[in-house]
């Protein structure tokens, strides 16, 4: 469902990605590992259309995303792509449920009642429905990150990109978040691409890609 072909990216005189190609199957979890500065986050941002490659193409469900621009690209991203970052990036003035629902309101293809119902469904699935009326400052780090995951899922995205999603959590909450990704894969058929320094999470993935010096130097796929 996701394919990258010969992705090249440079910043000033530094070539960060050198002809990266990969495929991600629907319903799979792919981890991307490598040393700091190897280009992991740059690749993730390009795959998720947050950045543009200097050369190469990215396809989701056969659509060439590198040909989309402006509002068309933004609309596609909001509807088809979810993001989870190291820091939850929740809006502090809104409750958990309101934060989850915001991308769906922007999509503007469902009634408010449908959006709220979807938001509650996700909060229940993620085990934090009792925190629906709490603002981020009133929730634990693990609850905040689960809220961010629910927000990423609210528009039923084709794929979710996660950049060091457990990097700001303690070991217990990190483990719970990792289990949650696999639960969502099993129950929703959700596809994930995850950049991580957490070796345990990386090794759990269906496919583990290692980047070094701008190249994919190793690919391990579970049978």
The pTM is what? 0.89
Evaluate if residue 88 carries a pLDDT over 90: no
What's the pLDDT score for residue 188?
87
Structure-derived torsion over alpha carbons of residues 139, 154, 58, 71, reported in degrees to the nearest 10:
-100
Comparing C-alpha atoms, which of 187, 188, 121 is closest to residue 159? 188
The 14-24 sheet, strands edge to edge: 14-24, 2-11, 55-60, 63-64
What's the pLDDT score for residue 112?
86
Evaluate if residue 57 carries a pLDDT over 90: yes
Chain CA centroid to CA 182, Å: 13
Comparing C-alpha atoms, which of 173, 166, 163, 162 is closest to residue 198? 166
Evaluate if residue 223 carries a pLDDT over 80: no
The 192-195 sheet, strands edge to edge: 81-85, 159-163, 192-195, 29-33, 207-212, 215-221
Question: What per-residue string of b and e applies to 65-95 under the rule 16 or more CB within 10 Å gives b?
Answer: bbebeeeeeeebbbbbbbbbbbebebeeeeb
* Most confident listed range (36-50, 70-84, 108-122, 129-143): 129-143
pLDDT, tens only, 13-31 = 888 999 899 999 999 999 9
Residue 192's pLDDT band (cuts 50, 70, 90):
very high
Evaluate if residue 107 carries a pLDDT over 80: no
User: β-strand 2-11 against 14-24: which pairing, if any?
Assistant: antiparallel
What residue spans of the chain are helical by DSSP H?
40-47, 70-80, 96-107, 112-125, 141-153, 171-188, 199-204
Q: Retrieve residue 39's tokens.
A: 């280009």
Which residues, including other chains, have CB under 8 Å from residue 14's CB and lie 6 or more apart? none
User: Domain-by-domain residue ranges, the chain?
Assistant: 2-221
C-beta atoms surrounding 18 within 10 Å: 16
- pLDDT, mean over the chain: 89
The CATH number given to 2-221 is: 3.40.50.300
Summarize the confidence of residues 65-92 as an average pLDDT. Answer: 87
The H-or-E segment that residue 194 falls in is strand 192-195
User: Would you call 209 helix, strand, or coil by DSSP?
Assistant: strand
Residue 165's pLDDT band (cuts 50, 70, 90):
confident
């Amino acid at each position: 469902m996701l394919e990258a072909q010969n992705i090249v990216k440079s910043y000033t005189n530094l070539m960060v990605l050198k002809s990266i190609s990969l495929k991600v199957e629907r319903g799979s979890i792919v981890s991307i590992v490598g040393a700091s500065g190897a280009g992991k986050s740059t690749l993730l941002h390009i795959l998720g259309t947050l950045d543009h490659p200097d050369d190469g193409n990215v396809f989701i469900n056969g659509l060439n995303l590198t040909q989309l621009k402006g509002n068309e690209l933004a609309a596609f991203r909001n509807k088809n792509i979810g993001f989870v970052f190291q820091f939850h990036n929740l809006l502090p003035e809104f409750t958990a449920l309101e934060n989850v629902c915001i991308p769906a309101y922007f999509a503007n293809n469902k009634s408010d009642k449908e959006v709220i119902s979807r938001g509650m469904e996700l909060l229940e699935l993620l085990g934090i429905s009792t925190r629906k009326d709490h603002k981020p400052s009133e929730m634990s780090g693990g609850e905040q990150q689960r809220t961010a995951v629910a927000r990423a899922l609210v528009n039923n995205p084709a794929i979710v990109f996660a950049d060091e999603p457990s990097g700001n959590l303690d070991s217990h909450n990190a483990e719970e978040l990792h289990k949650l990704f696999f639960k969502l894969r099993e129950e929703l058929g959700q596809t994930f691409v995850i950049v991580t320094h957490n070796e345990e999470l990386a090794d759990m993935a269906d496919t583990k890609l290692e980047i070094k010096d701008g190249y994919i130097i190793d690919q391990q796929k579970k049978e």
